Structure formats: structure tokens, C-alpha cells
């Protein structure tokens, strides 16, 4: 596709359920990033992939959060045993290179609401 695609665009779940959020980056982009946007915390970095490996996962808030990337393309962010504080918009971004010239292209986000 032309841009970064994220699904679902909206997800409502009950506390304690697991959720999966998907990101389909721009074709050929080697770097992929997950960010979280919430009212209380603003925009926060979660994790970064270079290819299929994640050199930096320092922003994941707890061990309930995990992410993987397969085939150097699609990434899935999984939140286990969701809590109300997980409610946020989860943004994915991709870039062509990881050096100093790569521009990040953001998707429209997945809005997660935990009841």
C-alpha cells in the first residue's frame, strides 16, 4: 500500500482479555517503530525493529506487552491481560533506513479502549 496500515482502527475489549494490534509498514522499509499516545502520558516510544529483530524494546511498559515482526514486514503488538491504563492510541511508524536520513512515516493508529 501507499502508507503504513494499521488494524484494527478501533478495538474495545474487556479488562483481562488479550489483544493483538497489527502494523503493515511501507514496502521496503526496514525499520519499524511502535509508539503509544495517551492522554496522561502523551506520545511514548515502545519498541523498534530493524528487520525482524528488536534492538530496542526499552519502552515496553510491562511484560504484558510484546511485539514481533516477521518477514521483515508485518508487525504485531500483543497486550496480554489488558488493564484500563492500556487504553490509548497505538501508532506504528516505518522508515527506509535507520541512519540519520530516514523519515518516519506514521500510520493512523489503533485506538484501544479497555473497559
Would you tell me which residues interact with another protein (CB under 8 A)?
Answer: 4, 31, 33, 35, 42-45, 48, 50, 55-56, 91, 93, 95, 98-104, 106-109
Separation of alpha carbons 78 and 87, rounded Å:
13
CB of 112 to another protein, least distance (A): 14
CB of 17 to another protein, least distance (A): 24
Omega of the bond leading into 48 within 30 degrees of 0 (cis): no
Between 67 and 109, CB nearer to another protein: 109
Q: What angle do CA 40, 77, 17 make, to 5 degrees?
A: 75
Find the shortest distance in angstroms from Cβ 73 to another protein. 17
- Nearer to another protein by Cβ, of 13 and 98: the residue is 98
Q: Which three cell numbers stand for residue 40?
A: 496522561
Nearer to another protein, 16 or 52 (CB): 52
d(CA 111, CA 86): 10
Measured in whole angstroms, the distance separating CA 73 from the mean position of its chain's CA atoms is 13
Residue 40 CB, nearest approach to another protein (Å): 10
Amino acid at each position: 500500500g501507499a502508507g503504513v496500515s494499521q488494524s484494527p482502527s478501533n478495538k474495545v475489549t474487556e479488562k483481562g482479555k488479550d489483544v493483538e494490534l497489527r502494523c503493515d509498514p511501507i514496502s521496503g522499509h526496514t525499520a519499524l517503530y511502535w509508539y503509544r499516545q495517551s492522554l496522561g502520558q502523551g506520545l511514548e516510544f515502545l519498541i523498534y525493529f530493524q528487520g525482524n529483530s528488536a534492538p530496542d524494546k526499552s519502552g515496553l511498559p510491562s511484560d504484558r506487552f510484546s511485539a514481533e515482526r516477521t518477514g521483515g514486514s508485518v508487525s504485531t503488538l500483543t497486550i496480554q491481560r489488558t488493564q484500563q491504563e492500556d487504553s490509548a492510541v497505538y501508532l506504528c511508524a516505518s522508515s527506509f533506513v535507520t541512519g540519520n536520513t530516514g523519515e518516519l512515516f506514521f500510520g493512523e493508529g489503533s485506538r484501544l479502549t479497555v473497559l
